[in-house]
Structure 1
Protein backbone atom coordinates (compact mmCIF):
# COMPACT_ATOMS: atom_id res chain seq x y z
CA UNK A 1 0.00 0.00 0.00
CA UNK A 2 1.29 3.42 -0.96
CA UNK A 3 -1.22 5.99 0.23
CA UNK A 4 -1.08 9.58 1.42
CA UNK A 5 -4.03 10.32 3.72
CA UNK A 6 -4.65 14.05 3.89
CA UNK A 7 -7.22 16.81 3.94
CA UNK A 8 -7.47 18.52 0.55
CA UNK A 9 -8.41 21.85 2.13
CA UNK A 10 -5.44 21.80 4.53
CA UNK A 11 -2.66 24.14 3.43
CA UNK A 12 -0.11 22.25 5.55
CA UNK A 13 -1.00 18.94 3.88
CA UNK A 14 -0.74 20.55 0.44
CA UNK A 15 2.63 22.09 1.30
CA UNK A 16 3.90 18.69 2.44
CA UNK A 17 2.68 17.03 -0.78
CA UNK A 18 4.81 19.49 -2.76
CA UNK A 19 7.75 19.16 -0.39
CA UNK A 20 7.75 15.36 -0.58
CA UNK A 21 7.43 15.39 -4.38
CA UNK A 22 5.33 12.23 -4.10
CA UNK A 23 5.90 9.54 -6.74
CA UNK A 24 2.97 8.94 -9.10
CA UNK A 25 2.30 5.48 -7.64
CA UNK A 26 1.24 6.95 -4.28
CA UNK A 27 -2.53 7.30 -4.03
CA UNK A 28 -3.79 10.60 -2.63
CA UNK A 29 -6.69 9.91 -0.28
CA UNK A 30 -8.72 12.95 0.78
CA UNK A 31 -10.17 11.89 4.13
CA UNK A 32 -13.03 14.40 3.97
CA UNK A 33 -14.48 13.38 0.61
CA UNK A 34 -13.66 9.69 1.13
CA UNK A 35 -13.71 8.76 4.83
CA UNK A 36 -11.29 6.16 6.11
CA UNK A 37 -12.81 2.69 6.37
CA UNK A 38 -12.54 0.42 9.40
CA UNK A 39 -10.27 -1.88 7.39
CA UNK A 40 -7.96 1.02 6.54
CA UNK A 41 -7.85 2.35 10.12
CA UNK A 42 -7.05 -1.14 11.42
CA UNK A 43 -4.19 -1.40 8.90
CA UNK A 44 -2.88 2.01 9.95
CA UNK A 45 -3.03 0.91 13.59
CA UNK A 46 -0.98 -2.21 12.79
CA UNK A 47 1.71 -0.01 11.26
CA UNK A 48 1.54 2.73 13.91
CA UNK A 49 1.25 0.45 16.93
CA UNK A 50 -1.86 2.06 18.35
CA UNK A 51 -4.95 4.06 17.46
CA UNK A 52 -3.75 6.77 19.83
CA UNK A 53 -0.65 7.32 17.64
CA UNK A 54 -3.03 8.21 14.78
CA UNK A 55 -5.24 10.47 16.89
CA UNK A 56 -5.00 14.26 16.79
CA UNK A 57 -5.41 15.91 20.16
CA UNK A 58 -5.28 19.27 18.37
CA UNK A 59 -8.63 18.73 16.64
CA UNK A 60 -11.35 21.29 17.36
CA UNK A 61 -13.80 18.48 18.17
CA UNK A 62 -11.35 17.05 20.71
CA UNK A 63 -11.67 20.27 22.67
CA UNK A 64 -15.36 21.00 22.00
CA UNK A 65 -16.43 17.49 23.06
CA UNK A 66 -14.24 17.76 26.19
CA UNK A 67 -12.39 14.59 25.26
CA UNK A 68 -9.24 15.86 27.00
CA UNK A 69 -11.10 15.43 30.28
CA UNK A 70 -11.93 11.80 29.53
CA UNK A 71 -9.70 8.78 29.97
CA UNK A 72 -9.80 7.44 26.40
CA UNK A 73 -8.76 3.88 25.61
CA UNK A 74 -7.81 2.29 22.28
CA UNK A 75 -11.42 1.47 21.39
CA UNK A 76 -12.39 5.09 22.07
CA UNK A 77 -9.62 6.37 19.81
CA UNK A 78 -10.75 3.98 17.07
CA UNK A 79 -14.37 5.09 17.48
CA UNK A 80 -13.49 8.78 17.11
CA UNK A 81 -11.11 8.16 14.20
CA UNK A 82 -13.95 6.47 12.34
CA UNK A 83 -16.54 9.02 13.51
CA UNK A 84 -14.94 12.14 12.00
CA UNK A 85 -11.98 12.81 9.72
CA UNK A 86 -10.72 15.66 11.89
CA UNK A 87 -9.49 13.21 14.53
CA UNK A 88 -6.83 11.76 12.23
CA UNK A 89 -3.40 13.27 12.85
CA UNK A 90 -2.46 14.34 9.37
CA UNK A 91 -1.05 13.79 6.97
CA UNK A 92 -0.38 10.06 7.12
CA UNK A 93 1.90 8.51 4.54
CA UNK A 94 1.88 4.75 4.16
CA UNK A 95 4.69 3.50 1.97
CA UNK A 96 4.55 -0.30 1.82
CA UNK A 97 5.07 -1.34 5.46
CA UNK A 98 6.29 2.06 6.71
CA UNK A 99 4.15 4.81 8.15
CA UNK A 100 4.82 8.49 8.72
CA UNK A 101 2.27 10.34 10.86
CA UNK A 102 1.86 14.07 11.29
CA UNK A 103 3.39 17.24 10.00
CA UNK A 104 6.43 17.82 12.20
CA UNK A 105 9.53 18.79 10.26
CA UNK A 106 11.30 15.68 11.61
CA UNK A 107 8.53 13.40 10.28
CA UNK A 108 8.42 15.16 6.90
CA UNK A 109 12.21 14.93 6.52
CA UNK A 110 12.17 11.23 7.44
CA UNK A 111 9.41 10.58 4.89
CA UNK A 112 11.27 12.53 2.21
CA UNK A 113 14.51 10.61 2.83
CA UNK A 114 12.63 7.29 2.82
CA UNK A 115 10.87 8.04 -0.48
CA UNK A 116 14.08 9.15 -2.16
CA UNK A 117 15.88 6.02 -0.96
CA UNK A 118 13.09 3.70 -2.16
CA UNK A 119 12.21 5.17 -5.55
Structure 2
Protein backbone atom coordinates (compact mmCIF):
# COMPACT_ATOMS: atom_id res chain seq x y z
CA UNK A 1 0.00 0.00 0.00
CA UNK A 2 1.31 3.39 -0.99
CA UNK A 3 -0.01 6.90 -0.48
CA UNK A 4 1.13 9.34 -3.17
CA UNK A 5 1.05 13.10 -2.79
CA UNK A 6 3.02 16.14 -1.73
CA UNK A 7 4.00 16.24 1.92
CA UNK A 8 3.08 19.89 2.50
CA UNK A 9 -0.45 19.50 1.06
CA UNK A 10 -3.09 19.88 3.79
CA UNK A 11 -5.29 17.10 2.40
CA UNK A 12 -2.32 14.74 2.16
CA UNK A 13 -1.41 15.54 5.77
CA UNK A 14 -4.96 14.70 6.88
CA UNK A 15 -4.85 11.41 4.99
CA UNK A 16 -1.43 10.52 6.40
CA UNK A 17 -2.60 11.27 9.93
CA UNK A 18 -5.69 9.06 9.47
CA UNK A 19 -3.64 6.28 7.89
CA UNK A 20 -0.96 6.41 10.60
CA UNK A 21 -3.70 5.89 13.17
CA UNK A 22 -5.74 3.27 11.29
CA UNK A 23 -3.46 1.61 8.71
CA UNK A 24 0.12 2.17 9.90
CA UNK A 25 1.88 0.00 7.29
CA UNK A 26 1.41 2.31 4.32
CA UNK A 27 4.42 3.90 2.64
CA UNK A 28 4.43 7.49 1.40
CA UNK A 29 5.70 8.62 -2.00
CA UNK A 30 6.17 12.37 -2.58
CA UNK A 31 5.57 13.39 -6.22
CA UNK A 32 8.05 16.25 -5.98
CA UNK A 33 10.86 14.48 -4.15
CA UNK A 34 10.49 10.93 -5.45
CA UNK A 35 9.13 11.69 -8.92
CA UNK A 36 6.48 9.92 -10.92
CA UNK A 37 6.87 7.95 -14.12
CA UNK A 38 4.66 7.85 -17.17
CA UNK A 39 3.96 4.13 -16.87
CA UNK A 40 2.60 4.52 -13.36
CA UNK A 41 0.49 7.55 -14.23
CA UNK A 42 -0.86 5.81 -17.34
CA UNK A 43 -1.84 2.82 -15.20
CA UNK A 44 -3.74 5.05 -12.78
CA UNK A 45 -5.54 6.72 -15.68
CA UNK A 46 -6.49 3.29 -17.03
CA UNK A 47 -7.96 2.39 -13.63
CA UNK A 48 -9.97 5.55 -12.89
CA UNK A 49 -9.81 7.86 -15.92
CA UNK A 50 -7.78 11.02 -16.39
CA UNK A 51 -10.72 13.28 -15.56
CA UNK A 52 -10.84 12.00 -11.97
CA UNK A 53 -7.09 12.33 -11.51
CA UNK A 54 -6.54 15.69 -13.23
CA UNK A 55 -7.27 18.68 -10.99
CA UNK A 56 -8.75 21.52 -13.04
CA UNK A 57 -9.53 23.48 -9.88
CA UNK A 58 -5.91 23.76 -8.77
CA UNK A 59 -3.76 26.86 -8.79
CA UNK A 60 -1.38 24.94 -11.02
CA UNK A 61 -4.10 24.54 -13.64
CA UNK A 62 -5.03 28.22 -13.49
CA UNK A 63 -1.35 29.08 -14.02
CA UNK A 64 -1.06 27.02 -17.21
CA UNK A 65 -0.95 28.77 -20.55
CA UNK A 66 -4.17 28.99 -22.54
CA UNK A 67 -2.64 26.59 -25.06
CA UNK A 68 -2.02 24.01 -22.32
CA UNK A 69 -5.56 24.42 -20.99
CA UNK A 70 -7.14 23.94 -24.43
CA UNK A 71 -8.21 20.62 -25.93
CA UNK A 72 -7.14 18.43 -23.03
CA UNK A 73 -7.46 14.75 -23.73
CA UNK A 74 -5.98 11.72 -21.98
CA UNK A 75 -2.52 11.93 -23.57
CA UNK A 76 -2.22 15.67 -22.99
CA UNK A 77 -3.46 15.32 -19.41
CA UNK A 78 -0.84 12.65 -18.67
CA UNK A 79 1.95 14.82 -20.10
CA UNK A 80 0.75 17.86 -18.14
CA UNK A 81 0.57 15.84 -14.90
CA UNK A 82 4.09 14.50 -15.49
CA UNK A 83 5.41 18.01 -16.08
CA UNK A 84 3.33 19.57 -13.28
CA UNK A 85 2.68 16.93 -10.56
CA UNK A 86 0.59 19.44 -8.61
CA UNK A 87 -2.10 18.95 -11.29
CA UNK A 88 -2.75 15.50 -9.81
CA UNK A 89 -5.59 15.40 -7.30
CA UNK A 90 -4.17 14.44 -3.97
CA UNK A 91 -3.68 12.19 -2.22
CA UNK A 92 -3.65 9.06 -4.36
CA UNK A 93 -3.91 5.85 -2.34
CA UNK A 94 -2.93 2.70 -4.22
CA UNK A 95 -3.53 -0.81 -2.96
CA UNK A 96 -2.78 -3.46 -5.57
CA UNK A 97 -4.97 -2.48 -8.54
CA UNK A 98 -7.35 -0.33 -6.52
CA UNK A 99 -6.99 3.42 -6.35
CA UNK A 100 -8.60 6.10 -4.19
CA UNK A 101 -8.18 9.78 -5.06
CA UNK A 102 -8.67 12.54 -2.53
CA UNK A 103 -9.33 12.13 1.17
CA UNK A 104 -12.59 11.87 3.02
CA UNK A 105 -12.47 9.99 6.29
CA UNK A 106 -15.75 8.16 5.62
CA UNK A 107 -14.49 6.99 2.21
CA UNK A 108 -11.25 5.66 3.72
CA UNK A 109 -13.15 3.89 6.51
CA UNK A 110 -15.49 2.27 4.01
CA UNK A 111 -12.63 1.30 1.72
CA UNK A 112 -10.57 -0.37 4.43
CA UNK A 113 -13.57 -2.09 6.01
CA UNK A 114 -14.81 -3.66 2.76
TM-score (norm 2): 0.83
Q: Which runs of 5+ in 1 are unaligned?
A: none
How far did residue 52 of structure 1 move?
2.3
Where does residue 40 of structure 2 map in the other structure? 40
> What root-mean-square deviation, in Å, do the aligned CA atoms of Structure 1 and Structure 2 show?
2.0
Where does residue 90 of structure 2 map in the other structure? 90
Where does residue 63 of structure 2 map in the other structure? 64
Where does residue 110 of structure 2 map in the other structure? 113
Q: Which runs of 5+ in 2 are unaligned?
A: none
Output the CA distance in 1 between the equivalents of 2:22 and 2:45: 23
SS of aligned partner of 1:65: coil
- Cα deviation per residue 1:9-49 (whole Å; 9 max; x = unaligned)? 1122111211233534322111110111112112211221x
Output the CA distance in 1 between the equivalents of 2:87 and 2:36: 11
TM-score (norm 1): 0.80
Output the CA distance in 2 between the equivalents of 1:79 and 1:99: 20
Q: How many residues align?
A: 112
Output the CA distance in 2 between the equivalents of 1:13 and 1:56: 15
